[in-house]
Amino acid sequence: MNYFPYLYWDPTLLLMIPGIIVAIWAQARVNSAYNTYSRMPVMSGITGREMAARILSSHGIQGVQIDVSSGVLTDSYHPLKRTLSLSEANYSGSSVAAVAVAAHECGHALQHGSGYLPLKIRNAIAPVVSFASYLLWPLLIFGILLGYANTLSIVVYIFLGIFVFQLITLPVEFNASRRALAALSAQNMLTEEELYGARKMLNAAALTYVAATLTALLNVLRFAMLSNRRK
């Protein structure tokens, strides 16, 4: 009797290859775009923080604190804290990449201010998905090593929840980038070449969310197959 039914080559692993390839390609595009446009200074000399402040002010968004976060590309907007965090290079930098990333995070603040429905849904399910994700690996280990079909079924539902979360994230991120580009254009602080670079930067970043969604879907399919195999 085999007590460790998945400790051998599993053909369902082949399902993950497209996701891995797309994820690597998307991350390479982001790194390439960021490396290129972080070295391209904007002629106006405006920093990421200053651009964020101008965009928020011009849209009547008040009470949002702009602060610095450690690391590279750790930029984010926290709706509950009403905090817009920019990585140090984007906070104080005056490059095309810095203002593009800052504007994108402002896009999320504008979504929050206008009650953008997909953002509301994502924020509502985020705590549940986050908690379920903590349970994922222990369940995964027990389910795969011991071949518990019921445990694997729970894993499938967790991955399904992650997929739904990633699917909702797509319009949120795409819309934030559209708002960012419109805001950058309205500020009249960038040249046409700089706006083109900002668009390239944000389009590259969007690919990472597409890759994450694809990977989540492939995980659902893979573990659904593994679960059905044990029934």
SS3 209: helix
List pLDDT tens digits, range 124-179.
999 999 998 888 888 877 766 666 667 778 888 999 999 999 999 999 999 999 99
Phi, psi of 69 (to 5 degrees): -115, 150
- Strand boundaries in 73-206, DSSP class E: 76-78, 83-87
pTM for the model: 0.88
Long-range pairs, 113-119, Cβ under 8 A, ≥24: 113/59, 113/60, 113/61, 116/172, 116/175, 118/168, 118/171, 118/172, 118/175, 119/79, 119/172
Alpha carbons 40 and 185: distance in angstroms, whole number: 18
Task: Choose the catalytic residue: 50, 105, 173, 194.
Answer: 105
Residue 194 annotated to the active site? no
Residue with tokens 């405006």: 46
pLDDT tens readout for residues 164-202: 999 999 999 999 999 999 999 999 999 999 999 999 999
Which amino acid makes up residue 33? A
Kindly tell me the sign of the dihedral angle through the C-alpha atoms of 177, 24, 84, 33.
negative
The amino acid that residue 118 corresponds to is: P
* pLDDT tens digit sequence for 10-47: 777 788 889 899 999 999 999 999 999 999 999 999 99
